[in-house]
Amino acid sequence: MKFLSALFVACALPFVSAAQAPSDTITVFMIGDSTMANKPLDKENQERGWGQMLPIYFDGAIKVDNHAVNGRSSKSFIDEGRWEKVREKIRPGDYVIIQFGHNDEKKKSPDRYTVPGGTFDENLKKFVNEAREKGATPILMNSIVRRNFPANGIAAAQTDDRQKTWKKGLENYPAEGDSLVDTHGAYLDSPRNVAKELGVAFIDMNKLTHDLVQGMGTEQSKSLYMWMPVGVYEFAPNGRIDNTHLNVFGAIVVSRLAVNGLAQEVPALKPYIRKTVYNLNK
Q: In this predicted model, what pLDDT tens digit does every residue of 122-135 receive, in sequence order?
A: 999 999 999 999 99
Nearest to 39 by CA among 28, 53, 55: 53
Task: Specify burial of residue 267 (Cβ count, 10 A radius: 0-12, 13-18, 19+).
Answer: exposed
The whole-angstrom separation of Cα 251 and Cα 244 is: 12
Mean pLDDT of 162-184: 76
Quote the longest CA-to-CA distance of the chain.
Answer: 57
* Confidence (pLDDT) at 5: 45
* CATH 3.40.50.1110 is the classification of domain 2-14+25-272: yes
pTM tops 0.85, yes or no: yes
Question: Which H helix or E strand runs over 259?
Answer: helix 248-265
Q: In this predicted model, what pLDDT tens digit does every residue of 212-236 receive, in sequence order?
A: 999 999 999 999 999 998 899 999 9
Quote the Cα angle for 271-277-278, to 5°.
45
* Confidence (pLDDT) at 28: 98
**Contact in structure between 55 and 29 (CB atoms under 8 Å):** no
Residue 200 backbone dihedrals phi, psi, to 5 degrees = -110, 150
Q: What is the DSSP letter of 173?
A: P
What ranges do the domains of the chain cover? 2-14+25-272
Residue 79 pLDDT class (50, 70, 90 cuts): very high
